[in-house]
Structure 1
Amino acid sequence: MKLKVLGCSGGIGGPEARTTAFLADNDILIDCGTGVGDLALEELAAIDHIFITHSHMDHIVAIPLIVDAVGEMRGVPITVHAIPEVLRILRAHIFNWLIWPDFTAIPDRRRPFLRLQPIKVGEDVRLGTRTITPLPALHSVPAVAYRLDDGNGQLVYSGDTTYSPELIAAINACPDLRHLIIETAFSDEQHGLALAARHLSPGMVAAFLNEIRSAPEVHISHIKPGQAERVMAQIAAAGARLHATALRQGQIIEF
């Protein structure tokens, strides 16, 4: 399985700051932030599935725009997979005819451009040889992490989360974990803000990583623009057992 980083920043501001979106193979998006906008029209039209971790704007902003751009080009709807709480937010606040048209009813409800598919934590979604499983996460709104597995190895993406024993336990239950993408939204100087917003700071990430029993490659995402050097230095100084590197826009991870 191949995962391309379309965006991994905690904000916008410059060509390297695209909010979170990952392209798995060529037909699956994991989160749907501003990085999706760099894809060509034909690449957008090839996307069949979008898995959303939570409802915050930096992770969903491109969903309405994708459907609007390629809905008529496709013979089947784009399916957005998310836990029911997230789907309710999308219906109430995005696809409500006020912020954006309801593409689950366009051109009609029998042949829509968009389908919203509920998922449950711990239950696999199988797409051919690939399996995507929502894992528990702990954020300021209902949220999940995801495990991606194609039978040759596994990758876990934390989404937005604070320190979560449940997520740690789920990661430790992965039998063949090759990569872990984990957020670090704030520096240690902003530890209080990280706690309030239910994000991670470098010290918290180090504590999290020290609980991981396997030895995956660790990639840090969601760093605020302009803070990468400081955050990565603080993670290194915290002395976690697992070495971590900053995720980069355009990076490709194969597993």
Structure 2
Amino acid sequence: MRLRILGCSGGIGGANRTTCFLLGDNVLIDAGTGLGELSYDELLRIEHVFVTHAHLDHIACLPMLLDTVVGARTQPVVVHATAETLHILRTHIFNWQVWPDFSVIPGPDHAILKFETMPLGDTRQVGDAHITALPALHTIPAVGYLLAGPDGALAFSGDSADCPAFWHALNGVDKLKYVILETAFSNREHELARVSRHFAPGSMIASLGRYTGDAEILITHLKPQDADLTMQEIMRDGALYPFSRLQQGQVLEF
């Protein structure tokens, strides 16, 4: 399995791109502004998009992807998400006001967008990958994902505060090599992190105490203003854990 990090920032500006990961060459995990890093030919290869939740930094480029490839693909792009997330996308994005409804374009019988409901705990197989929706706790309905291949696995928390069920699910995973874990705010903004159901270093490290495995912990979703400070706090206070900072352009093999 090969995961290319197209975007992993909690904001934009300069080189910062928001959350979007490419699994192999045809599967996206979220579709934030990092999706713009792909060439036109690479965009044409996308067949599946697994969405953690409907906040803009995770779906901003999904409408543009569909608009870009609509005249060149003969098969739809399949968007997998929970029923609640798909309802938000239908109601607030693909509603003919913010963006056309690509689930009926260019025609109802051959639309470029296909929605597939993916309940929490459900697993989909795409090629050699088994993708499972994991529990998460955010301000809107959200999930994380477990990506499992023949030789190893990787987990992504999505946007989430402390979620015991997430760690419970991971503690039973064999050959888990990486956990991509969000930490959006520094400790000085711990109250903002709490009310927005994100992590700050203190709450993230406390939550990590629920995990019994030894996977490498890759930190994502850092806000640009305090990204360096947040990582300093994590490395100082979490010395017992194998932390590193997820980087745009990084390729993870598992």
| TM-score where L is the length of structure 2 | 0.98
Corresponding residue number in structure 1 for 2:150: 151
| TM-superposed deviation, 1:239 | 2.7
Cα deviation, 1:63-109, whole Å, max 9, x if unaligned, reads 10000001211110000000000000000001000111100001111
| TM-superposed deviation, 1:240 | 5.2
The 2-side partners of 1:32 and 1:239 are apart by 30
The DSSP-based 3-state class of the residue aligned with 1:218 is: strand
- The amino acid of 1:72's aligned partner reads G
Corresponding residue number in structure 2 for 1:140: 139
- The amino acid of 2:207's aligned partner reads F
Corresponding residue number in structure 2 for 1:248: 247
The 1-side partners of 2:192 and 2:234 are apart by 17
| TM-superposed deviation, 1:241 | 2.9
Contact 1:3–1:22 (Cα < 8 Å) also in 2: yes
Question: Does residue 6 of the first structure (1) align with residue 6 of the second (2)?
Answer: yes
Question: Does residue 80 of the first structure (1) align with residue 79 of the second (2)?
Answer: yes
- The amino acid of 1:94's aligned partner reads I
Corresponding residue number in structure 2 for 1:177: 176
Contact 2:20–2:34 (Cα < 8 Å) also in 1: yes
| TM-superposed deviation, 1:183 | 0.2
Contact 1:132–1:148 (Cα < 8 Å) also in 2: yes
Cα deviation, 1:140-175, whole Å, max 9, x if unaligned, reads 000000000112100000000001111111111212
Cα deviation, 1:186-231, whole Å, max 9, x if unaligned, reads 0000000000000000011111222211111110000001322111
The 2-side partners of 1:251 and 1:128 are apart by 22
CA RMSD of aligned residues (A): 0.9
Using the TM superposition, name which of 223-232 and 137-146 deviates more: 223-232
- The amino acid of 1:212's aligned partner reads Y
Corresponding residue number in structure 2 for 1:203: 202
Aligned residues, how many? 254
The DSSP-based 3-state class of the residue aligned with 2:71 is: helix
- Identity value in percent: 45
Corresponding residue number in structure 2 for 1:187: 186
Contact 1:186–1:223 (Cα < 8 Å) also in 2: yes
Contact 1:171–1:212 (Cα < 8 Å) also in 2: yes
Contact 1:162–1:199 (Cα < 8 Å) also in 2: yes
- The amino acid of 2:48's aligned partner reads H
The 2-side partners of 1:101 and 1:112 are apart by 12
Q: Where does structure 2 lack aligned partners over 5 or more consecutive residues?
A: none
Using the TM superposition, name which of 232-241 and 163-172 deviates more: 232-241
Contact 2:70–2:106 (Cα < 8 Å) also in 1: no
Contact 2:6–2:249 (Cα < 8 Å) also in 1: yes
Corresponding residue number in structure 2 for 1:168: 167
Q: Where does structure 1 lack aligned partners over 5 or more consecutive residues?
A: none
Aligned counterparts, 1:35-54, within 5 A: 35-54=34-53
Aligned counterparts, 1:223-242, within 5 A: 223-239=222-238, 241-242=240-241
Which 4+ runs in 1 deviate beyond 4 A? none
The DSSP-based 3-state class of the residue aligned with 2:30 is: strand
The 1-side partners of 2:71 and 2:241 are apart by 46
